[in-house]
Structure 1
């Protein structure tokens, strides 16, 4: 198709948005020649490593073939599913959590939840503050809409935790929201309840929204992610959730927004245009099972935490973990003067280890930006520990150690 040209102009938003990074990693992987002894080992995309419980698989099959699932449901989801999720949130955030079905809208995945929220909050030319490294789809969504992503630098020495004071200095009259992800994608850093409370206070002081993507909340084993739902949360807090990871069904695309009904009224308008309605079979299958699946989610979380601990133990000593949690570990590679992009590509092509470089999660420094709080963005790689088993973790770390010699690059001593 070379030489073919379009007879019309494309939108500036789409032309200014980066291409999805995941396909690039899989293009590298396709260049690797796997063998039985040296199979391809994938720690790139955050994908559940196990299927959902059999009872959910069966219920989903039944729901998908039921005539009840063929028609539309409301744009914000099945009423019974929204009630079931509100009840589940009282289990996760505490029995005093003030969440009702009227506070919830269901979406076709959490990315849909984010873009529908931003479309309801911001206009082209407005600003949203995102911690860096950022989840690339959030940055892509903003750019596509003509909304400016304002980088809030996080630092390795802080465990990649965002600074409230540094964020305060970024707020301008154009700022519409601060958007966080915790446990974080890509770093895995898990923000404490007190840090989250400080951010919601900052948002309230400045009459802006705090949007928190809590896709990985069920992999926190130290207690409730935060206590915001126990207070007067509706004025400034917007919660986003994905069912993909907790329930091991990313292909069925179901997410959620918890926010003030005043905001959800506007979000429903956006959702009616974007999705008409979220997928019905998964909602119908999951609604009666939701209270019974908490033990499965807990077992999965415990297993992933154990895999994090294993990864930390067997990782070669020159590879340094900056943060880990949820699905991810953010690791500093040992090769001096070599970018993470080069390292990730060679790991995939030559050693069959698929990862994502930090270049996918940040923008290049703007000349004269004046930001002195910048971390070394060329030395970090994201590893997803959730989509491999323990034996694969060991094999991957052995290949990382092998890379130190076969790549023939200078390494840290």
Structure 2
């Protein structure tokens, strides 16, 4: 039916969400007991939250306290709990208090609210390519210019300080990083992040760091030392999600950590967009954060084990470009074939659901889709290792090997 009104130009210039496309592919596969669907497309936890958190969520849902509003930045008790947990993650020198924290309805809203508080239509935000698609979609909807900071497989998909500096203009308002990265899995070192903080500070722009997957770094060292002095408040806007580490994506809880002076403006956005973050999950999770550390660490080790298993079982012709957090970024071996076509046939014919790099590397300009390729040829595929078990990881790799002949495409030499 034709509408009698028009929709906004921001929406028309925004790419459609890619996950429904993967679901379409998955639905087209004819699964059998012997060959079930193996879905490595979406970054979702493969296990439920621990029993004590499940019980706490049920009790909180029945609590009279959960029925009312709270302040836009979230309950003080939950913000205090997160500040204490950040000292555990980043070290006792971590200079973050509850005044530096605003809770949000998921980490996506943390990014949206931060960008809305930072920018005006027509401003520029630098994103490493391949990007997390929801970040780029946010910029398009708000009428902002996405400036592409290309990353390369020979660099492990690490963003370059030198290339980034050349992209900064008077219209640049922020640089947005994700580490461990989505989609590539690349983990940015503490040294690299410190260099980006210096660059952003020197240029007078914000540095947004999305650390949704930080709890899956198993080195035993803090991810970085940016919070060790109050200097971080001049430049850093940290975004975090409770969805992955605590296996509660449906409860939608995230956080922004930034200077109180900036959060004053963020709260205006939050009061308008979310009113307040969900209360049930705050009441349930806050008191449990210290006792859930073992669960979080055990889950991270299980995901890391799956990464090792995937790396070792991957057929030799499929090249691993980067790996970390939930994701592995892999170059397929087929000659003159786009990753989109490979992913479609892997899903519909082989029962292996993944996402092509095109979903993380496109812009829509004037209604036309323009691909921003990672390499000269579009070859890269994102695999999520978190949401399937070890046995299924092995089966995925077996089917990738099988696809080299079953799909009928010529392999690269």
- Determine if the TM-score, normalized by the shorter chain, exceeds 0.5: yes
Check 1:67–1:365 CA distance in 2 against 1; reply closer, same or farther (3 A cut). Answer: closer
Runs (4+) of structure 1 exceeding 4 A deviation are none
Check 1:191–1:237 CA distance in 2 against 1; reply closer, same or farther (3 A cut). Answer: same
Post-superposition offset of 1:376: 3.5
Contact 2:127 2:176 survives alignment (8 Å): yes
TM-score where L is the length of structure 2 = 0.97
Post-superposition offset of 1:377: 5.2
Q: Paired residue for 1:402? A: 402
Q: Paired residue for 1:151? A: 148
C-alpha distance in 2, partners of 1:145/1:185?
22
Q: Paired residue for 1:14? A: 11
Contact 2:337 2:379 survives alignment (8 Å): yes
Aligned to 2:362, the other structure's residue is in SS state: coil
**Counterpart mapping for 1:26-37 below 5 A:** 26-37=23-34
Post-superposition offset of 1:65: 1.4
Instruction: Give me the CA root mean square deviation.
Output: 1.3
**Counterpart mapping for 1:49-64 below 5 A:** 49-64=46-61
Q: Paired residue for 1:218? A: 215
Q: Paired residue for 1:263? A: 262
Contact 2:122 2:144 survives alignment (8 Å): yes
**Counterpart mapping for 1:91-102 below 5 A:** 91-102=88-99
TM-score where L is the length of structure 1 = 0.97
Q: Paired residue for 1:132? A: 129
Contact 2:78 2:282 survives alignment (8 Å): yes
C-alpha distance in 1, partners of 2:310/2:412?
20
**Counterpart mapping for 1:7-406 below 5 A:** 7-222=4-219, 223-231=221-229, 232-363=231-362, 375-376=375-376, 378-406=378-406
CA deviation string 1:324-383 (max 9, x = no partner): 0000000000001000000000011001110000000002699xxxxx996245100000
Post-superposition offset of 1:8: 1.1
Aligned to 1:146, the other structure's residue is in SS state: coil
CA deviation string 1:249-294 (max 9, x = no partner): 0010000000000000000000011100000000000111011111
Contact 1:103 1:260 survives alignment (8 Å): yes
CA deviation string 1:58-107 (max 9, x = no partner): 00011011111010011110100000000000000010110000000000
C-alpha distance in 2, partners of 1:94/1:218?
14
Contact 2:216 2:300 survives alignment (8 Å): yes
Contact 1:155 1:373 survives alignment (8 Å): no
Contact 1:154 1:375 survives alignment (8 Å): no
Check 1:280–1:202 CA distance in 2 against 1; reply closer, same or farther (3 A cut). Answer: same
C-alpha distance in 2, partners of 1:362/1:271?
29
Q: How many equivalent pairs are there?
A: 405
C-alpha distance in 2, partners of 1:172/1:166?
13
C-alpha distance in 2, partners of 1:134/1:272?
28
CA deviation string 1:218-266 (max 9, x = no partner): 0111211110000211000110000000100001000000000000000
C-alpha distance in 2, partners of 1:43/1:206?
39
CA deviation string 1:312-333 (max 9, x = no partner): 0000110000000000000000
Unaligned runs of 5+ in 2: 366-371
